Amino acid sequence: MGTLSKSIAIIGLVLFLSYTFLMNPSYQLPLFPAKPQEKFPVIKASPTNISHIVFGTVGSVNTWKHKRSYIESWWQPNVTKGYIFMDSAPGNEYLPWPSTSPPFRVSEDITKLKGYPNYSNKIQLRIVQTVLEVFREGDENVRWYVMTDDDTVLVIDNLVDMLAKYDHTKYLYIGTNSECTHNNFAFSFDMAYGGAGYALSYPLMEALSKTLEMCIERYPHLYTSDNVLGACVADLGVDRTHEQGFHQIDLHGDISGLLSAHPNTPFLSLHHIDTIDPIFPSKNRSESINQLLQAAKFDHSRILQQTICYNKPISWTFSVSWGYSVHIYENVLPRSFLKKPLETFTPWWSGSGKEPPFFMFNTRWPSFTGNPCVDPHSFFADSNQNIDGNQILTTFSRRSSRGLLACAASGNHSAEPITKIMVISPIPKTVEVSILYHRIIVFT
């Protein structure tokens, strides 16, 4: 009897499904699926370029006078598209608004949001709402939205090259986390940190435009805007795609050790410029940023890329961070050692109760004993120029005297008399070439 009941049930299910597919056209399946190229032609999109990107930057009238130079260092009038969203309308001292800055918009009234009363950090609510506001501007032919802060500097050409690798028709959320373990623990290891900048594909932005305000109500306990956005993106089933070239810089002090050992990945952004020392010792912060981006104009793909080479007869090691610094070591040191950033900086949180590990990457400590065999002679870039039409000449000057004797273990060949270094690099035909092959000339 049981077997008969099962048979009847199975026959009934088959008849029901057959009826459903035959009588409801939306469920009908062709006997022979059409070839994709016949019924659904695949249109190959043109390569992503700067015209496909809209930049959304969050600013404040109170700090605009100070932050303006950072934004104008990367903004390209009549080339880049985007807006800076202010907390209030700029006063007469800033008008007429210059074309050297992104067009300004005044942020919408966030007090009208249903979730507003429950948020303790109202400023962060304005920042996350900016994601919707930049989308509502309705720019055409957009593939990517890049969100930044007003103290973030971008290398536009590298950003375009990076985004061109990805399929802009998919839901994509691209960024990086903090350099500091504690910051990631406090907020999130998985979100894209907003200061470093992050990219959202158009389809994802379109989806967020329908859900973000409701999602904001869901997360009043999250303290930062990028944490809220990361949660809302995750709720759409999208994970962050990690790109090392974004730099949150949750650090203090001298970050030359980090920039001098940059991984061989395109440098995309630099955040928190005001919380660190000027990256070039002889310049202020704005001059330093302009110096770095000037080098990027000669070859954006190579900027900050680390190359390590050796002078074996005198047992010296050279570590070149292209367009930024050169370190000379009076010893032969392996690349596995030198690619670890020299810990010249301190973590964002360094008070009591903050135990190591402090950073999300390996570091090497400065030699507090003044070991001449591992302490570098440091040189920083002064200028760049084209020579012979196919080479780039970068000149570096000594930061200061190292004040140590020569390394006896490798033959007492002192680099102390060297005052300048010239690095000659070929103008690359491909990105792969750009991280290789330097000729180094030293001057005493």
Same domain for 105 and 217, yes or no, is yes
Cβ neighbours around 183 below 10 Å, total: 21
pLDDT at 123: 87
Query: Residue 416's closest CA among 398, 391, 430?
Result: 398
d(CA 396, CA 383): 7
Residue 225: pLDDT band (50, 70, 90) is: very high
d(CA 344, CA 41): 55
Q: Which residue has the tokens 């950003």?
A: 159
* 342-359: average pLDDT: 81
d(CA 324, CA 393): 13
Same domain for 54 and 168, yes or no, is yes
Same domain for 236 and 143, yes or no, is yes
Same domain for 233 and 320, yes or no, is no
pLDDT at 37: 36
pLDDT at 351: 64
Degrees to nearest 5, angle at CA 204 with 203 and 205: 90
Residue 164: pLDDT band (50, 70, 90) is: very high
Same domain for 80 and 229, yes or no, is yes
Same domain for 63 and 180, yes or no, is yes
Tell me the sheet residues that pair with 311: 316
User: Structural domain of residue 212, as residue ranges?
Assistant: 50-242
Degrees to nearest 5, angle at CA 112 with 108 and 116: 105
Looking at 195, 223, 242, which one is the last position of a domain?
242
Quote the pTM value. Answer: 0.85
Domain count along the chain: 2
Which residues have C-beta within 8 Å of that of residue 226, sequence separation ≥ 6? 128, 187, 191, 192, 193, 194, 195, 198
- Note whether residue 187 is domain-resident: yes
Cβ neighbours around 26 below 10 Å, total: 6
Q: Which residue has the tokens 């985004």?
A: 163
Cβ neighbours around 244 below 10 Å, total: 14
Tell me the sheet residues that pair with 58: 85, 149
- Note whether residue 341 is domain-resident: yes
Helix 122-136 to helix 202-218 angle, to the nearest 10 degrees?
A: 150
d(CA 266, CA 6): 63
Looking at 242, 265, 295, which one is the last position of a domain?
242
Same domain for 229 and 338, yes or no, is no
DSSP-based three-state secondary structure for 313: helix
- Residue 11 scores a pLDDT above 70: no
Looking at 242, 257, 284, which one is the last position of a domain?
242
- Note whether residue 250 is domain-resident: no
- Residue 406 scores a pLDDT above 50: yes
CB 61 within 8 A of CB 86: yes
**Strands 81-86 vs 53-58: parallel, antiparallel or unpaired:** parallel
| Average of per-residue pLDDT values in the chain | 87
- Note whether residue 123 is domain-resident: yes
- Note whether residue 317 is domain-resident: yes
- Note whether residue 300 is domain-resident: no
Same domain for 238 and 328, yes or no, is no
- Note whether residue 357 is domain-resident: yes
In angstroms, the Cα distances linking 287 to 250, 291, 302, 379, 385 are 21, 6, 20, 17, 18
Q: List, as one string, the DSSP characters of 59-90.
A: --GGGHHHHHHHHHHH--TTT-EEEEEESS--
pLDDT tens per residue across span 55-86:
999 999 999 999 999 999 999 999 999 999 99
**Which CATH number covers residue 158?**
3.90.550.50
Same domain for 206 and 316, yes or no, is no
Query: Residue 59's closest CA among 146, 154, 152?
Result: 152
Same domain for 146 and 71, yes or no, is yes
pLDDT at 370: 86
CA dihedral over 316, 319, 320, 324, signed as positive or negative: negative
CB 419 within 8 A of CB 397: yes
Q: Give me 270's structure tokens.
A: 């630099």
pLDDT tens per residue across span 15-24:
333 333 333 3
Same domain for 202 and 314, yes or no, is no
In angstroms, the Cα distances linking 359 to 142, 184, 258 are 36, 10, 11
Same domain for 354 and 229, yes or no, is no
d(CA 96, CA 107): 19
pLDDT at 41: 40
d(CA 84, CA 134): 9
d(CA 146, CA 157): 13
Lowest-pLDDT choice from 28-32, 152-156, 232-236, 401-405: 28-32
- Note whether residue 118 is domain-resident: yes
